[in-house]
């Protein structure tokens, strides 16, 4: 029964991808191009418009463009009708912005005069994705990718630095000529000194117990081979960290959006760690968390690129590096790539903090190489390019 259902799903997807979506698009593409229509399309893995496109949306809206937010429902008939409506708009729009995979744009080429712009939701290039993960535990299998292509219709891809262009070309299976190091829109806030300075106060409104202590932000990526099975395990020895560090530090935990909603401390954990550990996963914006942190403990998350803009120290808690590398893989050799000291347990974290041995000298060259196009003006630069002729 499972095999029959799987075949039926593939058959329905083929009908939509190769017949229905192109048919609807072709019905409308002969209408005049709407020079003022700009689409912002994304799947509802987000509670609101992704931050990497929100600034561009506001900028172009203020310039008089008809900016239309198109958030795809997760499943069912609503998604079916949404995709048909998307093809109608896609056929006549000036450009469409994306920040992730979006199947309806891959079924056929855009019409002449329409730009398909991939902003992508991550800075730099760290763990692999797209065609780079074909046949790995994380990625799609090559047979599926040959049947249903993805990332194949972009006219422009914007990235954080020239150094990562080859990585994006590999991940998207595209020509390097369409990849432009114009920066990443959501990084503009990190160049606003007033914004950065204000974020600790914003955080303390939620967690006044922090007081004058320094903030350690633990922001790991999720584990698992797809968004539906994503999970996080807090492998830090919280008891040992509390015992050694709580007089001078607090620990702020910010989990990946795929797992944040499902994470809560037990009543016993709240009792034991309540004045040292604070769960910011659902309450705190990631920009606020990063700007407030005196130290970032990361693993394989691309947040390290944004944090590098602040030129503050980082530690890399890579307790499952071999397993993660085997299942997902990286664009660079991990230990020589990360801009900080690699540790595997609480003792390593404590020792690095007590001695100040973060290998912080790696941060500035890392920023220069992988974030050089981010200068506080990315939103304006990308928006104006998108609607230029």
**What's the whole-number mean pLDDT along residues 38-56?**
89
Which residue from 385, 375, 234 is spatially nearest to 309, judged by alpha carbons? 375
Quick check: 152 and 131 in contact, CB under 8 A? no
Q: Report residue 84's pLDDT band, with 50, 70 and 90 as the boundaries.
A: very high
Q: How many residues does the chain have?
A: 389
pLDDT tens digits, one per residue of 114-127: 999 999 999 999 99
265: three-class secondary structure by DSSP: coil
pLDDT tens digits, one per residue of 341-376: 999 999 999 999 999 999 999 999 999 999 999 999
Dmax (CA) for the chain in angstroms is: 69
Q: Indicate if the pLDDT at residue 98 is higher than 90.
A: yes
Q: Indicate if the pLDDT at residue 246 is higher than 90.
A: yes
Q: Indicate if the pLDDT at residue 69 is higher than 80.
A: yes
Quick check: 167 and 130 in contact, CB under 8 A? no
Neighbour-count burial of 385, counting CB atoms closer than 10 A to its CB (0-12 exposed, 13-18 middle, 19+ buried): middle
Check residue 236 and report its DSSP letter.
S
Q: Indicate if the pLDDT at residue 210 is higher than 80.
A: yes
In this prediction the pTM is 0.93
Q: Indicate if the pLDDT at residue 8 is higher than 70.
A: yes
Q: Report residue 263's pLDDT band, with 50, 70 and 90 as the boundaries.
A: low
Mean model confidence pLDDT for the chain: 92
């Amino acid at each position: 029964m499972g095999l029959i259902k799987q075949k039926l799903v593939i058959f329905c997807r083929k009908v939509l991808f190769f017949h229905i979506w192109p048919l609807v698009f072709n019905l409308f593409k002969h209408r005049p191009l709407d020079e003022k229509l700009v689409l912002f399309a994304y799947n509802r893995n987000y509670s609101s418009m992704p931050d990497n496109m929100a600034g561009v949306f506001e900028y172009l809206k203020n310039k008089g463009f008809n900016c239309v937010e198109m958030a795809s429902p997760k499943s069912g008939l609503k998604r079916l009708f949404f995709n048909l409506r998307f093809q109608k708009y896609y056929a006549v729009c000036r450009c469409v912005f994306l920040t992730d995979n979006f199947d309806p744009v891959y079924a056929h080429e855009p019409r002449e005069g329409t730009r398909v712009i991939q902003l992508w939701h991550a800075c730099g290039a760290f763990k692999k994705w797209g065609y780079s993960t074909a046949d790995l535990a994380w990625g799609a299998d090559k047979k599926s990718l040959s049947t249903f292509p993805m990332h194949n219709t972009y006219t422009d891809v914007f990235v954080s630095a020239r150094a990562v262009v080859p990585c994006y070309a590999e991940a998207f299976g595209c020509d390097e000529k369409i990849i432009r190091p114009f920066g990443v829109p959501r990084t503009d806030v990190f160049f606003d000194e007033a914004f950065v300075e204000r974020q600790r106060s914003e955080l303390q409104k939620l967690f006044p117990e922090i007081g004058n202590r320094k903030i350690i932000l633990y922001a790991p990526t999720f584990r698992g081979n797809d968004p539906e099975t994503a999970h996080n395990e807090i492998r830090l020895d919280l008891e040992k960290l509390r015992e050694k560090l709580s007089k001078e530090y607090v620990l702020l935990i910010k989990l990946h959006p795929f797992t944040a909603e499902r994470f809560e401390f037990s009543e016993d954990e709240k009792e034991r760690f309540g004045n040292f550990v604070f769960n910011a996963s659902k309450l705190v914006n990631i920009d606020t968390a990063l700007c407030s942190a005196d130290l970032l403990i990361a693993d394989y998350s691309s947040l390290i690129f944004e944090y590098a803009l602040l030129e503050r120290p980082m530690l890399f808690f890579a307790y499952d590096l071999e397993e993660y590398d085997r299942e997902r893989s990286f664009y660079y050799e991990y230990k020589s790539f990360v801009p900080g000291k690699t540790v595997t347990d609480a003792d390593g974290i404590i020792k690095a903090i007590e001695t100040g041995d973060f290998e912080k000298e790696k941060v500035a060259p890392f920023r220069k190489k992988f974030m050089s196009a981010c200068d506080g003006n990315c939103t304006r630069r990308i928006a104006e390019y998108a609607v230029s002729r």
